Structures are given as structure tokens and as C-alpha cells.
Structure 1
Amino acid sequence: MNLKDYKTQFINALLTVVEEEEANSFFYIALDELMHMRRVDLVLQEVVLSAEQLAQWQGVLEQLLTEKPIQYVFSKAYFYGLEFSVNEHTLIPRPETEELVEWIIHTVKQQPLKQWRILDIGTGSGCIPVTLAKNISNAVVTSMDVSEKALEVAKRNADHNGVSVRFLHQDVLKTVSIEEYDLIVSNPPYVRHLEKIEIQKNVLGYEPHLALFVDDSNPLLFYRKITELADAFLAPGGHLFFEINQYLANETLALFENTRLKTTELRKDMRGNDRMVHAEKK
């Protein structure tokens, strides 16, 4: 079959589950992954798919029709210009988290230290610690996660991107003490079960619930614990950064009351939702 003809067939099939713009995006991602071709190459070349190639395309299409995220189909995602392996044990990196990382990098570069000691809590794919290690030359980065499977992926991503990160297999909720750090960052689970109605099917069906959801009755348990650790073990003048639940911004800020952590800023993400908090230890 001619690839241009197959494109029409591929996109028409996907229109049953996604909008046209996303269907086109999926086609061109698959074009790059399967054929190592760009959009312009498809215009300039006539390509006839072999039986083997057609079977590969059909395999991708069948997975996408189940609403499996394309990042999981190809086991690959991009974050802050870097390539990361992802699988069912790790969340897909989000643009909102890129905004958080950009904020951290800007903050660090405005306040040079001989060496920044950075702790990331909730490693996942490793997108936060790996990106910080890649972009902050004078940083020693540590990252912890309760999931051994996620840590395996994060270690591969650190190696792939040529950075050194120390990974700890540790449950922060059971952690009593940590080393002294200059900066702690976390994007912990924060989606309440009552918010599942807002979550897309491809997220609910495929991304790890351990990394997404918290009990409705105690949605800030990770933030509370990490705030306690930051209050006790951040160096004077140290920084705490959170990605937060947009509906619980005020409740999250209230956790800093009666601590040495002073809220310096609450920021919205690109969609206008309350999403990031920065506090500094006095």
C-alpha cells in the first residue's frame, strides 16, 4: 500500500477516538519512529509499504485505538529538550512540570553556590532530577521513589542523558530524617479520587495510579510530610518547590504556617491553573 494512502486510512480510523489535530500528530510521530521520515519527506517521496511495515503501522494503530498514550506505544517521551524512556510504571512527563523545572533552574542560576545539593522526591521517569542535573552544572542531585520499577527507568534515563543522579529506593511517608539539602522539589501524587471524572480515559487506563491518586480524606499527606522534612533539613536559605493540585492551593500554602518556610510565590501554569509553589527557609 502507498504510504500516502495509508495515512488517510490511519487518520480516519483514529478520528473515532481523538480529534483530527491529534490524529495527524500521532501519524507524524509514528512516521518518524517507524520510517525515520519527516513530514516533508512524505510530500517529496513515493513510499510503498512492505507487508512487514504495514503490520508495524497496524500494530501502532491498534494500540492507539485503545486510547493507549502514544508515549507508551513507543516507550518514549520528551521533556525540556531531553528524551526519556517511559512505561506503565512511570507517569508521562507533563508540560506543566517543565514550567516548574524552568523556575527552579532560573532560581538556582540567580543564586550561585559552590555546589547545590538538590533532592527530588517522587522520581517517576526521572524527568525532574535528570533535567536539573543536565542544566545545573554545580548540582549534586539525589532522587527518591517508593517504586523500584520506576527507579529502574529513571536510572536508564540518567545514563541515556549522560548525568549522574543518586537514586534512593525509599518511601517518603516513612522517612524520619534526610541529609541537609539546599533545594527540595516534589511533584507528588495529588489527584483526589473525586476528581477522576476530569481525568482523560488514556490517563486512567494506562498511567500508574500509585503516582497519581491520593485519598479524598487526606489529599495533602505527601505535601505535609515533605514540608515537615524541609522545615527540619533544608539548609538556611534553602528552597522548597512543589507542583500542586490546582484546587488545593490555599490548603497547600497553609502547610507553611508555623514553619520556617515562608511562601515567596504561587504560580499558575500555562492554562491559568494554580500549579506551583516556592518557599524559602528563613
Structure 2
Amino acid sequence: MNSNFTTIQEARHWASVFLGKHTRETRVADLLLEHVLNMSFAQLLAYEKDPFPESKREVFVESVRVHAETGMPVQHIIGEADFFGRSFSVNSNVLVPRSETEELVEGILNWVESSNKDKPQIADIGTGSGIIAITLALELHKADVFASDISEEALQTASANAQKLGADIQFIQGDFYAPFKDIPVDIVVSNPPYIAHVDKDLMDDTVVNFDPALALFADREGLAAYETIVKQIKDSNHSPSLIAFEIGYLQGNAVKKIIQDSLPDYTVEIRKDINKKDRMVFASRVSS
């Protein structure tokens, strides 16, 4: 692996070529450079003729090699990922945040703004790294935010993120909505596991080999988590005003039916993401 580059520009070129030969996205070269050199992309371009720091060579080359040869996500290599303008710590115990989930959060913020819920109680189900719960807590200063996950390791990551970012959240270990049976929650939000097991072989190795299977796959063609959460809500002592799910792009009608069959007093809407694919289901309880 010839890495005899001398300038930042040459380092970018070397990494891009090496990644390309391994059929990886060449943009990763810039992401790793930005992290290793602590520079923005604009700074990389502005200082591209500068010598590449010799003290940073080994860690940069190794990071490029690891991603190219194993598919380890860039976010796992650098230990962080951006979401809603904030940096979150991530690891193999949690999903790498996706931009589509930001649209789910935006939908909830818009709903709160248009509702009369001045101090909503929010439950984030299957919180993972805590991106949804923490973002909502920081954007909605008067909200009481709870977050659950069955994974103790995920909750440790989420709790560390909340502490780092200054978010006040009550974390609870438990099975989906079960810990909130007796809590008068106004908003339930979840990005649960929704990939069918049969689709595993079709997935990119950067996801299937590194993101936790517990957060990816679900039984019943990927619908089991939605069925469980909706049943738990139905059997609870309180009815939330809003249920917001992230979904697989082919699951909109199925998830809508799950909600309508068990919770007939909810109006259900399927929403598309920026790529015009079904990505969210919002269910609002009809006021009596």
C-alpha cells in the first residue's frame, strides 16, 4: 500500500484512489482527512498545498485501510456522527444516525409548534445513541423527555451523549413502550428495527457487519416492532396524542393498517422523505 504522499492534496488523491479500488465511496477520503487534521472541507481545499503532517500519517493511512478493506463505517472509525447540527458519539452498540431521521424529528417539532402542548411528555422508543431524544430535549426546552432501549450498552452510549450535550433525559431499560404503561406520554416516537431478515443479504456490508442486528432486523417481514409498540400503547393506561414512526420505504400502508386496526381513534398519515420515498408514519389521536 504505497502512501508516499507529501501534501494534503496528494493525501486526498491517494486515499480516493485507494478507496475507489476497493469500491468504496471516495468522499470518505475527505471525511477522514477532516477528522485527522481537524479541518473543515473548505480548509482542506485552502491548504491543499501544505505539507501533510508526518505525525498524522499513520493514523490516516490506517483509517483509510480499515474502511476500504473491512467496510467499517467512517463514523465508527472516528467515533462520532453528526445529527441535527450536533456531534454524537457512536459505536458498534448503536445505529449510525441517518439524515432521514432528522425529518422525523422535524415532523415532531412542527407538530408541537402547531399543537397546544406547551410542556409535552415525550417517549423515544429504542433510543439507541439517543439522537432523537436528545435533539427533542434540546430543541423543546419545556418538554419532559424519556427514552427506552432494551440494550444496556445502547443506553450507556445515549446517556453519555446526553451528558456531553447537556440534555436532561430519563433513560429506562425495557422492551419498547412497556416502561411507559403508567406514564401519561403525549408523544411516542420510534425508529425501531424494521428490516426483514430475508433482506440481510441485500444490505451493504458497512451496515450489516457493523450496526447491531438488534436495532436492524425484525420478524414478520420487518413489522414485528410496530405491532408490539402499538399493542403496548393500546394496553397502556394513557393514549398519546401523537405516534411518530420511521419506516422502511415499502412499509407505509402496512404500518398504517397496524395502527388503524388497533387504535381506530387515530388519524394516520404516511409521509415521504426528501427522496420522495415513504419514510414516516404520523398518527394523531382524534380529540373527543
Same fold (TM over 0.5): yes
Matching residue within 11, 21, 29 for 1:27: 29
Counterpart code for 2:15: F
Which moves more between the two structures, 231-240 or 48-57?
A: 231-240
CA contact (8 A) 1:268 1:276 kept: yes
Give 2:129's aligned residue. Answer: 125
Give me the CA root mean square deviation: 2.1
Structure 1 residue 190 corresponds to structure 2 residue 184: no
Query: How much does 1:51 deviate?
Result: 4.0
Name 1:8's counterpart in structure 2.
13
Instruction: Specify the alignment match of 1:204 in structure 2.
Output: 208
The residue number in structure 2 matching 1:75 is: 79
Query: In the alignment, is the contact (CA less than 8 A) between 2:121 and 2:186 conserved in 1?
Result: yes
**Paired amino acid for 1:29:** L
Q: Does the 8 Å contact 2:197/2:221 carry over to 1? A: no
Quote the Cα distance in structure 1 between the aligned partners of 2:18 and 2:222: 39
1:275/1:178 CA distance change after superposition, 3 Å:
farther
* Identity value in percent: 31
- Which of residues 253, 257, 267 is equivalent to 1:254? 257
Deviations 1:37-95 (A, max 9, x none): 23443444443335432111111111111211101110110111111100000001111
Which one is further off, 250-259 or 55-64?
250-259
C-alpha separation in 1, matches of 2:16 and 2:121: 48
Following superposition of structure 1 onto structure 2, how do residues 242-281 of structure 1 map, counting pairs within 5 Å? Answer: 242-255=245-258, 256-281=260-285
Q: Aligned partners of 1:60 and 1:109: how far apart in 2?
A: 43
CA distance in 1, matches of 2:140, 2:279: 23
Q: Report if the CA contact (8 A) 2:268-2:282 is conserved.
A: yes
CA gap of 1:39–1:275, structure 2 versus 1, over 3 A, is: closer
Task: Supply the AA of the counterpart residue of 2:18.
Answer: A
8 Å contact kept, 2:181–2:232: yes
Question: Could you state the TM-score of these two structures normalised by the residue count of structure 2?
Answer: 0.89
* Letter aligned with residue 36 of structure 1: N
Residues in 2 aligned to 1:28 and 1:141: alpha-carbon distance in whole angstroms: 36
State the Cα distance separating 1:171 from its structure 2 match.
1.8
After TM superposition, give the deviation of residue 175 of structure 1 in Å: 5.7
Q: Classify the secondary structure of the residue corresponding to 1:275.
A: strand
Contact 1:146–1:170 under 8 Å retained in 2: yes
Name 2:3's counterpart in structure 1: none
3-state secondary structure, aligned to 2:187: strand
Q: For the Cα contact (< 8 Å) 1:263–1:277, is it kept in 2?
A: no
1:98-141 Cα offsets, whole Å, 9 max, x none, are 11110000001111323101101001010110011011122100
Question: 2:82 and 2:148 mapped to 1: Cα distance?
Answer: 21
Match of 1:36 among 32, 35, 38: 38
DSSP-derived class of the 2:186 partner: strand
Report the number of matched residues: 278
Amino acid at match of 1:4: Q
Contact 2:134–2:167, Cα closer than 8 Å, also in 1: yes
- In structure 2, the residue corresponding to 1:68 is in which secondary structure? coil
1:57 matches 2:57 = no
Alpha-carbon shift at residue 12 of structure 1 (Å): 0.7
**Counterpart code for 1:167:** F
Please say if residues 76 and 85 of structure 1, whose CA atoms lie closer than 8 Å, have aligned partners that are also in contact.
yes
Moved more, 136-145 or 172-181: 172-181
- Residues 237 and 76 of structure 1: is their aligned pair in 2 closer, same or farther, counting only changes over 3 Å? closer
Which residue identity is paired with 1:41? Q
Q: Give the C-alpha shift of residue 235 in structure 1.
A: 4.9
Structure 1: which 5+ runs fail to align? none
Contact 2:189 2:244 in 1 (8 A): yes
Distance change (3 Å), C-alpha of 1:261 and 1:71: farther
Q: Contact between 1:79 and 1:98, CA under 8 Å: does it hold in 2?
A: yes
